[in-house]
Amino acid sequence: MQSILAGAFGVQSNRRREEDFGSGSPLPYLVGGILFTLIFVIGVALIVRWVLSTQA
């Protein structure tokens, strides 16, 4: 999870990135990345909806 979050924000160290790419299957990173993206997009949409509803 830490690698996914660090990669999403672009602060991952080169050593950690090499460890991740050498770990074998990319499936956990793909699933984690997709889940993170969905949660992020839904979170932003909810915040925007909330802000817009308080403006009326």
**What digits encode the pLDDT tens for the residues 1-55?**
777 777 777 777 778 777 777 877 888 888 888 998 999 999 999 999 999 999 8
Structural domain that includes position 43 = 2-54
* pLDDT for residue 38: 95
Report the number of distinct structural domains present in the chain. 1
Hey, what's the torsion of the CAs at 26, 28, 32, 34, to 10 degrees? 50
* pLDDT for residue 48: 96
| Cα–Cα distance, 18 to 37 (Å, whole number) | 22
Evaluate if pTM is beyond 0.85: no
Q: State the pLDDT confidence band at 56, using cuts at 50, 70 and 90.
A: low
